Amino acid sequence: DQQVKQNSPSLSVQEGRISILNCDYTNSMFDYFLWYKKYPAEGPTFLISISSIKDKNEDGRFTVFLNKSAKHLSLHIVPSQPGDSAVYFCAASGMGKLIFGQGTELSVKP
Amino acid sequence: DVKVTQSSRYLVKRTGEKVFLECVQDMDHENMFWYRQDPGLGLRLIYFSYDVKMKEKGDIPEGYSVSREKKERFSLILESASTNQTSMYLCASSGAGGYNEQFFGPGTRLTVL
């Protein structure tokens, strides 16, 4: 039973445009959400997070939006750059551990 | 610069072998985690530990065990490796408290033949 889902395995965007990565969750008890970025042959690195008491958190080109009623969060990258090409995982914090989605592979074309 | 290191980047073992994967963190973190990453399945938690000599099962503990004798070191053990344990194994650590981000090692690509 997948509690955190990323339904798009891949996404391709042009350099300079917006990338939107989506994530859905089922457990309303999750109270903190994170996005990680992973390059091939490296471990995931933390990107941005949001508490469930907020609906938006921004850090430079990266913004995370949380819609609690829909149990949905999204990561916006504006403008997208070729160096953003990686696999992005969303994660939800619950019971002292993180539950990860399946990941979305983002490809930013020059 | 914070660091999580894993003993091997690539490992090839035979079915039935006992396999040890070592993880060391230098951040004095209380929590340590072992995940495996498989295509289409994301990161799945195998075991985690909140303190020395403590361990908790994650979502897929079958076929694995762990050891945490020192705060900075967390070992994953495959008692008798099988081909379905071929995967990328990732170790992570985090500080005490519920909302601390996890820091990951570079991963070990294990192939079981």
Contact list, A101 vs chain B (CB under 8 Å): 42
Q: What is the pLDDT of residues B78-106, one digit of tens each?
A: 999 999 999 999 999 998 766 678 999 99
Rounded to an integer, what distance in angstroms lies between the CA atom of residue A95 and that of residue A84? 31
Contact list, A103 vs chain B (CB under 8 Å): 42
Range of the domain at B8: 4-96
**DSSP 3-state helix, strand, coil percentages of chain B (rounded to 5)?**
5, 55, 45
| B68 domain-assigned | yes
| B104 domain-assigned | no
Optimal mutation site among B43, B56, B88, B90, interface A, most CBs of chain A within 10 A: B43
| Nearest CB to A100; choose among B43, B99, B106 | B43
pLDDT of residue B10 exceeding 70, the answer is: yes
Predicted local confidence at residue A94, as pLDDT: 78
Predicted local confidence at residue B13, as pLDDT: 97
Which helix (H) or strand (E) segment holds residue A94: the answer is strand A86-94
Q: How confident is the model at residue A68 (pLDDT cuts 50, 70, 90)?
A: very high
Question: Where are the domains positioned within chain A?
Answer: 4-109
Q: What is the pLDDT of residues A19-39, one digit of tens each?
A: 999 999 999 889 899 999 999
| B35 domain-assigned | yes
| B16 domain-assigned | yes
Count up the domains in chain B and report the number: 1
pLDDT of residue B1 exceeding 70, the answer is: no
Q: How confident is the model at residue B34 (pLDDT cuts 50, 70, 90)?
A: very high
Predicted local confidence at residue A46, as pLDDT: 94
Q: Answer whether A100 sits within 8 Å of B44, measured CB to CB.
A: yes
Query: Which CATH number goes with the domain that contains B90?
Result: 2.60.40.10
Predicted local confidence at residue B2, as pLDDT: 67
| B57, B44 Cβ separation under 8 angstroms | no
Mean pLDDT of A32-52: 94
| Nearest CB to A89; choose among B43, B98, B101 | B43
- The CATH classification of domain A4-109, taken from the options 1.10.260.40, 1.10.10.10, 3.20.20.70, 2.60.40.10: 2.60.40.10
Q: How far away is chain A from the Cα of B64, in angstroms, using its nearest Cα?
A: 18
